[in-house]
Amino acid sequence: MRAQIGTLILATSGIQLANGYFGTFFSLRIATEDFGPSMSGLVLSSYFAGFILGAVCVERMIGKVGHIRAYAGCAGLVAAATNAMPILAGPLPWLIFRVFVGLGCAGLFVTTESWLNAKAEPLQRGRVFSIYMVGTFLALAAGQLLIGWTNIEASTPFNAIATLFAVALIIVCMTRAEPPRVKLYEALPFRRLAGAVPIAILGCVVSGLISSVFYALIPVWMQGEGIEQGMIGLIMLAAVLGGLAFQIPIGRLSDRFDRRSVLAAVSLGLTATAVGLLLLPHTLPIVLPASVLFGGFMSTLYPICVAYAHDEMPADRVVGVSSRLILISGIGSVVGPFIGTTAMTFLDLDGILCLMAVAAFVLGISAVSGFLVTTAAPHLARPFDVLTPQATALAHDPTSI
């Protein structure tokens, strides 16, 4: 069993290494192309549009062809689209290819997380997913370090990324692990979810928007300011490590206190960090610690909202809740870079920071209002999990509650 789970975690770590590297590299590559602010925003957002599409469609695909075939198809799709990008360069082809990359990545994460959830014993599931997320964050961090050795204008990075996805495909297709049986559940009406947990809905939108703006546009701004590629990778690495460091402490606070109060504190902390970056000098001793704080606050918004939504909703709706929340987070991720590039056109970095600060402040005030008006639901036996917006409907088994 350990070998089977280890194989999946190893393959996913390779994918996250490629994904973290791809995200920063591609935003820097877009900055070197003369696409214009609006088209650049659309191309950067297209990944998240594909991710939403994948989150909606992949459950049915897995139900028809099984986990291994679904994984193989999604990894092959990402590798093919990535390799095609230097061949057909231009805003429209790249927009289409990034949609395919997002769709394939969503399928890979859904397949992996649902497989892990099914294979891990209930008493070991938290430990397994903690190991999974540690591998994810470390791989994302390693991907940022590769930026310093990258020739942004060459086609080599595309080939390297496609190779990593192909290696992950080989690892999973050669495994002797038995894939889980797939169960399909009734869809949850969005109106019911919105009526029960509006703050979770808002939180997922804000989380997706801020994360996509940060990872897509902050590297572009740094490159425009003449910051060396190696330093850009270091700053982005600090944000990823901040996300890793904050997960467990914030999760424990969320399990002990009303999750809305913790969400408010995290949101307002994120606001304060963004405002600090606006007002303070942009020197390395200031930017690096601020990146750690920003990444930590930003990465914990989504899991708090997910845990709060599960507290409020019946246990037999856990799959529907998860699928709706990732879809909502994806919508925020789609609109984020487009709005951010517009803000950056008028106010440069200040526009990006103002956008993220305002979004986080609105979420924080909304969480405070909800906390003061209504009492908290009792926490369920299923506590805060270390999650990212890659967590999906199939990552949870309602029979394990």
Of 21 and 229, more confident: 21
pLDDT of 395 higher than 50? no
More confident: 309 or 319: 309
Look up the pTM and report it.
0.71
The token pair that represents 254 in the structure block: 């969320």
Give me the pLDDT at residue 162, please: 92
Lowest-pLDDT range, 19-28, 132-141, 257-266, 326-335?
132-141
Q: How many residues does the chain have?
A: 401
Nearest to 386 by CA among 196, 255, 266, 234: 255
Six token digits for residue 36: 């214009």
Provide the pLDDT for residue 386. 52
Rounded to an integer, the average pLDDT of 157-186 is 78
232: amino acid identity, one letter: I
Report the largest interatomic distance among the alpha carbons of the chain, rounded to a whole angstrom: 57
Q: Can you say how many angstroms the Cα of residue 219 is from the centroid of all Cα atoms in its chain? A: 17
Query: Taking 70 as the threshold, does the pLDDT of residue 123 lie above it?
Result: no
pLDDT confidence band for 392 (50 / 70 / 90): very low
Instruction: Assess contact for 136 and 391: CB atoms under 8 A.
Output: no
Q: How far is CA 175 from CA 63, 121, 195, 394, in A?
A: 20, 19, 44, 20
Mean of the pLDDT values across residues 163-176?
84
pLDDT higher than 60, residue 390 = no
Digit-coded pLDDT (tens) for 279-318? 888 788 888 999 999 999 998 888 888 778 877 777 656 5
Query: Range of 146's domain?
Result: 2-181+188-400
Top-confidence residue, 33 or 193? 33
Query: Which tens digits make up the pLDDT trace of 207-258?
Result: 989 998 898 888 878 877 777 777 888 888 898 889 888 877 887 788 788 8
Q: Which residues contact 124 (CB under 8 A, 6 or more apart)?
A: none
Is the pLDDT at 203 greater than 60? The verdict is yes
Which string of b and e fits 296-332 if b means at least 16 CB within 10 Å?
A: bbbbbbbbbbbbbbbbbbeeebbbbbbbbbbbbbbbb
b/e per residue 198-221 (b: at least 16 CB within 10 A): ebbbbbbbbbbbbbbbbbbbbbbb
Choice between 290 and 3, residue whose per-residue pLDDT is larger? 290
| Portion of the chain with pLDDT greater than 90, in percent | 20
Q: How many Å apart are CA 83 and CA 155, to the nearest integer?
A: 9
CATH number, residue 370:
1.20.1250.20
Report the pLDDT value the prediction gives residue 397, as an integer from 0 to 100: 34
- What pLDDT, on a 0 to 100 scale, did the predictor assign at position 372? 62
Higher pLDDT, residue 73 or 144: 73
Domains held by the chain: number: 1
For residue 197, give the nearest of 27, 297, 312 by alpha carbon: 312
Q: Which of 279, 298, 282, 288 lies closest to 356 in space, CA to CA?
A: 298
